[in-house]
Structure formats: C-alpha cells, structure tokens
Amino acid sequence: MGDSFGPVSGGADDNGYVVGDDSGMDASMSRKEPIRVLVVDDHALFRRGLEIVLAHEEDIQVVGEAGDGAEAVDKAADLLPDIVLMDVRMPRRGGIEACTSIKEVAPSAKIIMLTISDEEADLYDAIKAGATGYLLKEISTDEVATAIRAVADGQSQISPSMASKLLTEFKSMIQRTDERRLVPAPRLTDRELEVLKLVATGMNNRDIAKELFISENTVKNHVRNILEKLQLHSRMEAVVYAMREKILEIR
C-alpha cells in the first residue's frame, strides 16, 4: 500500500496535501456507508491499479470507471458517486471540461483531479470548474485513499507544489490590486455590475445569459469589457479586485 503511481520528487508529510478545515475527523469516524468513488482515466491499466489499491480500503468503494470526460458525465449521472477521481487530459472530453457537467448531473459529487499536469493554468481552471482537489500522480497509493476521505469529509486537497503556485498567484493578484489602489476605480455600468455579481457566484456565461435574459455572446462582451476597464486578465482577478475595491459585496 506504500507504492506510488510515479516518481516521487521530494516527499510531503501526511498533512502536506490538506488545504482546508480539519473538521472532518469526527465525520470520518462516524461514517457508516462507504465512500462511493468513480475512477476516470484514459489508461485502463491505471484505472485497474486504482481499483486494486482502493479495494483494500473498507470505507471506500469503487462503483464505476470511465475512460474520458464524456463517459464520466454519463456514469456520474447514473451512479451519483460521492467522489470522482479524474484525470485532466483525456481524449474526446478532458477532465476540466467535464467538471462543470458532472456538478450539474451529480451536484453532491466532489471532484479530485489526479494528473501528471503541473501546469498552473490547469490548476486554476480545475478549481474554477468546481474541483475540490488537485493531486499529482507522483503521490503514493496511501495518499490517494487519504485524499478521498479528506475531500469526502469537506476538506480540499492540493499537492504541495501546486498549492505553492496557487498561493503565489493570489499574492501576485493582491500586489497588482494594491498598485492600482491610488487610481480611482473605473465605473462599471449597471449591467456590467450585474454580470460581475453573477460571475462572483461561480456561474458560467450560459447560466448568466439565462439569468439576465440576454444572449451568451452579450455576456461574453460584458465580461470582456469588465476585464478591460479593470485592466485585469481573468474572471477570478475581476472578482477579487471588485471585492477589495468595494465595487461588489458578496454575502
């Protein structure tokens, strides 16, 4: 059970992967039903390896598997798993793209990305798409089971090297915001403020369009205008900036 899925570049301690509260200990102790897991990876051998490893865990049950994101959405709708353990890059439909759809068909499912990709863009996109965890395949088999339990109990799990990148990005965002504080905040139109508020709740362009009874292209134009006015590069930066400048209050 101590084997790893790939080369380990510097070990992390048992708590290294936990980002979030640790209130799940009691929940883990009192859980009666096993954690139902859907394994999604385009490599059949890797899926089989995970199933064999997790079969030794009495409180974890692999209820299904899928070879790509499209199949994962269908399986999630049928099986309603507690946890979806999913790769990022797969044929037909990738894991990040599948995240949003899985959350729609199985709202209670929590998604852990298990991947070789250490690209910052993949990490940010996965989190924005609804993933609760982002782990690199270099972790040991023991840590996979630990991560599944932690996420099931309400924690977030990010590999230490990726968590460091995430913190660096947030620090950079705050610094860029501080540099602009002496400049009066650009005025957004009422409609742009409406769009920004919905973006802050995590809604995608399609849902925003439905909420405001406008076209999806119009939403895209509003988002582009918001970013240009605020001189920002992403939706996440726009929300952080708006909150800090008191343009938008999120309750």
pLDDT in tens, the chain (251 residues): 444 444 333 334 444 444 444 444 444 445 679 999 999 999 999 999 999 999 999 999 999 999 999 999 999 999 999 999 999 999 889 999 999 999 999 999 999 999 988 887 888 888 888 888 899 988 887 889 999 999 999 888 887 777 666 666 666 665 655 555 545 556 889 899 889 888 877 788 888 999 999 999 999 999 999 988 888 877 777 777 777 766 655 44
pLDDT at residue 247, rounded to an integer: 65
Is CATH 3.40.50.2300 the classification given to domain 18-161?
yes
**Within 10 A of 241 (CB to CB), how many other CB atoms are there?**
23
φ/ψ of residue 25, rounded to 5: -60, -45
Q: Maximum distance among all alpha carbons in the chain?
A: 59
Residues of each domain in the chain carrying CATH 3.40.50.2300: 18-161
Q: Which residues contact 62 (CB under 8 A, 6 or more apart)?
A: 37, 38, 39, 50, 51, 54, 55
pLDDT at 59: 95
Contact in structure between 132 and 112 (CB atoms under 8 Å): yes
Q: What distance in Å separates the CA atoms of residue 181 and residue 231, rounded to the nearest whole number?
A: 13
Every domain of the chain with CATH number 1.10.10.10 lies at: 184-244
pLDDT value for 184:
54
Q: How confident is the model at residue 198, as a pLDDT? A: 86
Query: CATH topology for 184-244?
Result: Arc Repressor Mutant, subunit A (1.10.10)
How many other C-beta atoms can be found within 10 angstroms of the C-beta atom of residue 227? 16
